[in-house]
Amino acid sequence: MPSRALLPLLGTLLFAACFDDSRGDDTGSTAAATLMTTSATQVSGDVTTTTTTSTSTTDWTSGEPTTSTSTGGVDPVTGTTDPTTGTSTTGGDTNVGCQMYCAAMMGSCTGTNAQYPSNESCLGACGGLPPGSPGETSGNSLSCRAYHAGMASIDPGVHCIHAGPSGAGACGQSCEGFCAIATSICPTEHPSPADCMATCANFMDTEPYNTEDAAGNTLACRLYHLTIAATGPAEAQVHCGHTIEASPPCM
């Protein structure tokens, strides 16, 4: 039996031990949960993904929650941004950019303004396009075409052809667009950009391109068959031969 004189001291020591045990180390005193949310927006054709990270922690000694949030932008066409530092990094997901671009094209460019016969065709052709830089409104790139694809929802008659595979002078010259896709989809017929550009210079670029150009000795006809070839390997086996100078349907 401890003496009555020692009881206050013993009580103090027990209280201190319980208090230290309740605090523990940092991992024992704090519970953390992290929520990652990603949203994609397209404004005037500029494709941007925003990532927001929220970290919620609870101090077990006070019961009060604390929250910290950081936000960073991601351009799926050309690169990414570190959400914690805002520093641009390389990588980018061109597939995401192509999916958003083709969704805009399929939605806004239809009928006589159609530039691709199907979404699969658009995705295949898009893979051959140079990514470009965010916000581009000119030059042979996916970024430029994405801008005009966004604007096509307002004025398809003007912007669909600029957003299409040829670029129509707004997003590069027609042969630039044709050869970027042709060397990717039909490398046997178009082994290099230089060879393709030399061949393309002989094509008659005399009419605006759309998906009705299935015949005639024009660049537009060969571009049509190139977009069909971009649909998949089976289509490429048939239609790549229709993109050359001695093209059976484009004579």
Residue 7 resides in a domain: no
- pLDDT (mean) for 100-122: 98
pLDDT tens for each residue of 225-249: 999 999 999 999 999 999 999 999 9
Residues 106, 195, single domain; the answer is yes
* Residue 104 and residue 62 share a domain: no
In a domain, 159, yes or no: yes
pTM above 0.85, yes or no: no
| Segment 139-151 mean pLDDT | 98
> How much of the chain, in percent, has pLDDT values that exceed 90?
61
Among 71, 89, 107, the domain boundary falls at: 89
pLDDT at 95: 87
Exposure of 201 in the CB half-sphere (CA atoms within 13 A): 5
The domain in which residue 133 lies consists of 94-242
Tell me which of 89, 117, 137 is where a domain ends. Answer: 89
Is pLDDT of 67 > 70? no
Report pLDDT digits (tens) over 86-103.
333 333 456 899 999 999
**Domain annotation covers residue 218:** yes
Whether residue 166 sits in one domain with residue 69? no
What's the pLDDT score for residue 184?
A: 98
Whether 121 and 217 share a structural domain: yes
Give the residue, 205 or 75, on which the prediction is more confident.
Answer: 205
Q: Are residues 85 and 98 in the same domain?
A: no
pLDDT value, residue 101: 98
Give yes or no: residues 107 and 216 share one domain.
Answer: yes
Within a domain: 185: yes
Q: Is the pLDDT of residue 130 over 90?
A: yes
Domain match, 206 and 133 both:
yes
* pLDDT tens sequence across 158-181: 999 999 999 999 999 999 999 999
Amino acid at site 23: R
One domain for residues 55 and 120 = no
pLDDT value of residue 94: 65
Predicted confidence (pLDDT) per residue in 44-56, tens digit? 344 443 433 343 4
Residues 103 and 225 in one domain: yes
Confidence band of 77 (pLDDT split at 50, 70, 90): very low
Beta strands, E only, 76-123: 79-81, 88-89
The mean predicted confidence, pLDDT, of the chain is 75
Tally of CB atoms within 10 A around 225: 25
Looking at the fold, whether 53 and 68 belong to one and the same domain comes out as: yes
Mean pLDDT of 125-141: 96
In this structure, what DSSP letter does residue 169 have?
Answer: T
Sheet of strand 65-75: strand arrangement: 30-43, 46-59, 65-75, 79-81, 88-89
Residue 23 lies in a domain: no
Q: Are residues 49 and 171 in the same domain?
A: no
Whether residue 204 lies inside any domain: the answer is: yes
In a domain, 27, yes or no: no
Cα gap 71→168, rounded to integer Å: 37
Query: What per-residue string of b and e applies to 31-51 under the rule 16 or more CB within 10 Å gives b?
Result: eeeeeeeeeeebeebbbbbeb
Give the total number of structural domains in the chain: 2
- Residue ending a domain, among 89, 111, 131, is 89
Same domain for 126 and 187? yes
pLDDT of residue 197: 98
- Taking residues 199-222, report their average pLDDT: 95
Instruction: Tell me if 1 is assigned to some domain.
Output: no
